[in-house]
Structure 1
């Protein structure tokens, strides 16, 4: 059994994350059954808040993560300044092409990319981006990429989304038609056909949408209509290209997830009021029968459209352990039953979609902006699994240490006393044979903390956890500024209360009225 670190082995599962500071990290796991051993294997970028990442997306020809050539994989990540880094290849490496921000953006802050997506048309990738001020641009790759993953990209379309503040973008290519949808604060979802939009030029040019969504009908009691605010949007997938989910940023205290069918009508065909915060991320299943949704309060649940009943009775499960706003959800595209999430709590979590229990959790130190699943070659995945099994061995834990190859005791198997339960732990050294014999005679073994309540010092001796009877008692509390005549609250007696003030010391004498 050799040293697994001596040879480079690819991973069985791979994730990509970007954060506000400007780091792009690659997380790998040996296999589906060994997700608990996931770790960060690569980190790119330099810390810069001004150049932090705002969005990222991974696209592959056919929308699948099956093993194909590296030229059929595109990784795009948007910077806070409006530039977009695009590279072709399985693993994102430094380099690639950099798409400049829109020239007609009002300011650098307005040029910030808030939405990013990749669509494939005739085996050619296109990158669609949405800026905060509402400008939509589409870049198309011209020619195959080079060995370093760089390729020539050309802007082919640009127009305005008509939003006061854009927040969501989604795109899909199916049946020879490319659709791009966008929305934001002050505008409902609009979907454009790329064959009918203006060419490159001004991002403020108007384009007639193929589909313009409308909110649900006004409330029957208040006669109020929902405010136009799309905070998240996602096409279902290639199986149902006409279905699109949207999440609202809030209207009269209600936050809704809507399902639109562009073949039916402009109003939503299904609607769900869920949560107490704006919808931040959506991850629909490929068949359109369920969607994972997350909000700014740190909640993530599954809306099962096939379930009986209506409203919240169709919500099946809640991902455990989330804290803080969830910024991105990524459902494994191959139906492996995994959903990844990142957000403001700085953790990458991967949950089982069936049980909603966490499969792995990694602390990544920075606030994450997006998470994506990356493709892995099947042969490399098998090699990674064999290497991991050899490293684990029959009983697990076999590693190459400084002295020789052996097995380290798992820290999770060692019982560590809780600090609140143990209190003060002190190490005792032997001070001669006589002292040691005396300590053994007076030592009282104790697994749980009882020393403080017993008024004794709690120590760790040679025999284990406990305390010694010959130590001085430690008082659990003390009463201050109490004179003779009884403790506070007792009947009878007198007491003095001294307090320093601005005018000097004040004395107050109180006598109980009999």
Structure 2
């Protein structure tokens, strides 16, 4: 699979762009909404899935199934906003600001830091955090009592108004300690921990809408950001953004249920996949999405449903052969009865037609009789009138 995505419906989705195939690998409910994803190791053979109920599940990309499930917090402590593997250990971060480090087989956190916001790694023991009204901080997990770096408040505006903080996403610049962040106030900041100022060494403003995600391309010289209005062909907020580790490609997903892959060179849309669910997070594999990979042998949910239906048909055929024959005989008898009824209906209709024709003939005869009577009356009337005229003429002659 080229891209892995987590959905609001609790589904882990794998997309193979080369084969134009999308597969669902779990069937959880909305209470198991997928909020964070990360690789379980350098080989990309495992995907760690952080759910809204505080469960972290391990998915094997080789077996195509979930292998391990462990609880890393309660649902009331806030959803996961960050997740990362630290060798055999696991670090989680919640929306309420709790950063915890868990041993491989332990159910209790060995390290807990109240930091807030997202979490991004810089090395095996260094992470960056930030959130709403919580400026950027860099922590050493081996000494979590105090942050290694804490960003200073931004300078007030020219009206002496305080500028609020709301870090939405961050990333460490490659081969550097510098950190780039994006905020809900459409700002992009670059911090240098070695600088005594502790304020951004570079600041840029993008658009007018809150920024939601950022990612660094492979060249390390540019920053890709996304906001609540999409502006990458999306019709809704972009919730996740990630550049390919080595190719000039960038993948994005969000509320419009589409996975989009764009080219960073010409900014054209390369691939677009509709995935039916609102998407929260994604992982971009290091493989080339344009080269076809061997298919992953997994049992999809649709195949399981097909097996259930096949089993139901098999039981019916095994136990109901005679029942089917009886049903067929009943159907035949019903067909015969229907045919006889149809014949009776046809005969009745013919009788009705004959009666209607006889009635019409009788009416025609009556009309003919009436016409003949009228003709006879007219002739008799004319004869009487002619006789009366002759009598009148004779009388006149006699008088003369």
Task: Give your verdict on TM over 0.5.
Answer: yes
What does residue 188 of structure 2 align with? 257
What does residue 120 of structure 2 align with? 170
Distance in 2 (alpha carbons) for counterparts of 1:154 and 1:377 = 39
Distance in 1 (alpha carbons) for counterparts of 2:57 and 2:248 = 30
Contact 1:97 1:153 in 2 (8 A): no
TM-score using structure 1 length: 0.53
Structure 1 gaps of 5+ residues are 1-12, 31-36, 62-67, 143-151, 198-206, 300-318, 386-514
Distance in 2 (alpha carbons) for counterparts of 1:109 and 1:153 = 17
Shift of 1:223: 1.8
Alignment CA distance shift 1:109-1:295 (3 Å): farther
Distance in 2 (alpha carbons) for counterparts of 1:214 and 1:367 = 36
Distance in 2 (alpha carbons) for counterparts of 1:364 and 1:58 = 21
Q: Trace 1:340-489 onto structure 2 (pairs within 5 A).
A: 340-376=251-287, 384=294
Distance in 2 (alpha carbons) for counterparts of 1:158 and 1:98 = 21
Shift of 1:76: 1.0
What's the CA shift string for 1:46-72, capped at 9, x where partnerless?
1411111111122543xxxxxx5xxx6
Which structure features the higher share of helix residues?
2
Which structure has the bigger radius of gyration?
2
Alignment CA distance shift 1:74-1:141 (3 Å): farther
Contact 1:90 1:376 in 2 (8 A): no
What does residue 324 of structure 2 align with? none
Distance in 1 (alpha carbons) for counterparts of 2:56 and 2:150 = 28
Distance in 2 (alpha carbons) for counterparts of 1:45 and 1:178 = 32
What's the CA shift string for 1:137-178, capped at 9, x where partnerless?
123447xxxxxxxxx8874322211x4xx3x221121xxx62
What does residue 7 of structure 1 align with? none
Alignment CA distance shift 1:117-1:44 (3 Å): same
Local SS of the residue matching 2:142: helix
Residue of structure 2 aligned with 1:248, choices 175, 183, 190: 183
Shift of 1:288: 3.5
Aligned residues: 293
What does residue 271 of structure 1 align with? 203
Contact 2:35 2:80 in 1 (8 A): yes
Contact 1:58 1:373 in 2 (8 A): no
Is 1:78 the counterpart of 2:50 in the alignment?
A: yes
Structure 2 gaps of 5+ residues are 296-400
What does residue 329 of structure 1 align with? 241
Distance in 2 (alpha carbons) for counterparts of 1:153 and 1:75 = 20
Is 1:20 the counterpart of 2:1 in the alignment?
A: no
What does residue 368 of structure 2 align with? none
Is 1:235 the counterpart of 2:172 in the alignment?
A: yes
Residue of structure 2 aligned with 1:39, choices 11, 16, 21: 21
Shift of 1:339: 0.4
Shift of 1:74: 3.5
Shift of 1:268: 0.9
Is 1:93 the counterpart of 2:73 in the alignment?
A: no
Alignment CA distance shift 1:128-1:263 (3 Å): same
Residue of structure 1 aligned with 2:213, choices 268, 281, 287: 281
Local SS of the residue matching 1:95: strand
Local SS of the residue matching 2:265: coil
In angstroms, what is the RMSD of aligned CA positions? 2.6
Alignment CA distance shift 1:179-1:110 (3 Å): same
Distance in 2 (alpha carbons) for counterparts of 1:115 and 1:383 = 30
Contact 1:216 1:267 in 2 (8 A): yes
Is 1:157 the counterpart of 2:92 in the alignment?
A: no
Alignment CA distance shift 1:289-1:133 (3 Å): same
Shift of 1:125: 4.4
Shift of 1:283: 0.2
Contact 1:172 1:180 in 2 (8 A): yes
Alignment CA distance shift 1:91-1:215 (3 Å): farther
Is 1:50 the counterpart of 2:31 in the alignment?
A: yes
Local SS of the residue matching 1:50: helix
Alignment CA distance shift 1:153-1:73 (3 Å): farther
Alignment CA distance shift 1:287-1:140 (3 Å): farther
What's the CA shift string for 1:445-485, capped at 9, x where partnerless?
xxxxxxxxxxxxxxxxxxxxxxxxxxxxxxxxxxxxxxxxx
What does residue 129 of structure 1 align with? 92
Alignment CA distance shift 1:155-1:91 (3 Å): farther
Distance in 2 (alpha carbons) for counterparts of 1:189 and 1:225 = 17
What does residue 148 of structure 2 align with? 210
